[in-house]
Amino acid sequence: MVRHVMVGFFLIVFVLFITGCAQKIVCSPPNVLIGDVCCLDTDENNVCDTWEEEEEEPEIVSKKPGISAEQEAMDEFAETFATTWDRKSYTAMRNLFINDYGKRFSPQEFNFLARRMDTSLGITGIELVDVDRDSAEYRVIIGEDETIISAAIDYEDETYKHEAFYLFEDLSADAACEGDDECFMSFARITGDRNYCDKAGELKPDCIASFGTTKGITDKIDECIEILEYYSKAECLAQVAVKENTVDPCWEAGFDKQIFECMGEVAAARNNVDECSDFVASRGYPGTRLQRAYCITRYVQKTGDTEACVKIDRRDDVVLGAMQEQCYKIIA
């Protein structure tokens, strides 16, 4: 009996000795010991986070299809329109409308009328909201109020343009100047149309008197030059040149292309493409074949007379050759 007790005692001591000598695992924070593994257990459920990740179903991420080049170009156009409108750059904005609408006004007329309408409505900001297929939505901010308006987008002259909408749809002197005699008087002076004096109320006599002296061509050229947006300035000069039947305003356009395209418009108004050679040489030097080509190309654009394209002298010149080929493809 005593012998059995002694054997049991030594067995217990041996087990305790072996256990005490076993190596204890110590985990470095933030890891904890789960079983015999050090790992993270952020949710404290005694299951390693890595084990849970392995058990989870893989997430399926649907890739958003890339937008087409056409949609991207349309988005860019709408963003440009919103920025131009927000800055109240109405002279430049006129060129972002379809031709049938934009050409109804000179740059000065459009700027005057649109700015008047903007002021009367109290518009304080413009933001692009969305572009969907063939239209764009803009947020018009008026003080603390706002409204969403939609505008149709057309493709014209190899670029995107808006149809008339919102305040631009019925843009006119009657709408912009209603009840404002001074406004009608100012518009009469801008357009050179004394008929608007009839709507100037008490200012009608002064308005009519202001037409006593015809505005000289120099004054008209100066008004065009004051326009900040370059292409609108060139267009203004071309309009004066055609109306006055002279290429003098064209020389103020600044760059060869716009100078000699302006001359092409005068030649078109006279219905004589041969005038291009005389116009280009009107400052005492013969000019270049490229300058004459600019004039001829614009003549064809205005008249649709593609037979005139043969007058572009393309000899041994790749650029002029390409211009002539494009000239034959013009549809007025």
Residue 210, pLDDT score: 79
Alpha carbon distance, N-terminus to C-terminus of the chain: 126
**How far is the C-alpha of 96 from the C-alpha of 212, rounded, in Å?**
36
Residue 43, pLDDT score: 59
Q: Which among 212, 206, 235 is positioned nearest to 223, based on CA atoms?
A: 235
Sort 143 into a burial class: Cβ within 10 Å, 0-12 / 13-18 / 19+. Answer: exposed
Between 154 and 45, where is the model more confident?
154
- Cβ atoms of 149 and 132 closer than 8 Å: no
Residue 55, pLDDT score: 39
> In the predicted model, what is the mean pLDDT of residues 7-26?
53
Residue listed under structure tokens 């064809």:
300
Burial per residue of 230-250, b for 16 or more beta-carbon CB atoms within 10 angstroms, e otherwise: eebbbbbbbbbbbeeeebebb
Residue 5, pLDDT score: 47
Band of pLDDT at residue 237, cut at 50, 70 and 90:
very high
Q: Determine which helix (DSSP H) or strand (DSSP E) holds 145, and give its type and residue range.
A: strand 145-156
**How far is the C-alpha of 330 from the C-alpha of 306, rounded, in Å?**
7
Output the six-digit token pair for 60: 């399926």
Residue 2, pLDDT score: 46
Rounded alpha-carbon distances, angstroms, from residue 189 to 183, 186, 243? 10, 5, 16
Which residue ranges form the domains of the chain, and what is each CATH number? 69-171 (3.10.450.100), 177-214 (no CATH), 216-328 (no CATH)
Output the six-digit token pair for 113: 């009328």
> In the predicted model, what is the mean pLDDT of residues 251-260?
91
Residue 11, pLDDT above cutoff 80: no
Determine how β-strand 37-39 pairs with β-strand 125-132.
unpaired
Residue 22, pLDDT score: 47
Query: What is the sign, positive or negative, of the torsion defined by CA atoms of 53, 54, 57, 62?
Result: positive
**How far is the C-alpha of 144 from the C-alpha of 121, rounded, in Å?**
13
Condensed to tens digits (0 to 9), the pLDDT of residues 292-306 reads 999 999 999 999 999
Mean pLDDT, rounded, of the chain: 83
- Cβ atoms of 124 and 143 closer than 8 Å: yes
- Cβ atoms of 200 and 184 closer than 8 Å: yes
DSSP letter at 308?
Answer: G
- Cβ atoms of 327 and 300 closer than 8 Å: yes
pTM for the whole structure: 0.49
**How far is the C-alpha of 169 from the C-alpha of 90, rounded, in Å?**
14
Residue 35, pLDDT score: 66
Rounded alpha-carbon distances, angstroms, from residue 157 to 194, 239, 277, 327? 35, 20, 27, 15
Residue 310, pLDDT score: 96
Output the six-digit token pair for 51: 């084990």
Neighbours of 12 (CB within 10 A): 9
- Cβ atoms of 296 and 323 closer than 8 Å: no
Backbone phi and psi for residue 74, each to the nearest 5 degrees, phi listed first: -65, -40
> In the predicted model, what is the mean pLDDT of residues 273-281?
93
CA 49 from chain centre, in angstroms, equals 51
Between 329 and 157, where is the model more confident?
329
Residue 229, pLDDT above cutoff 60: yes
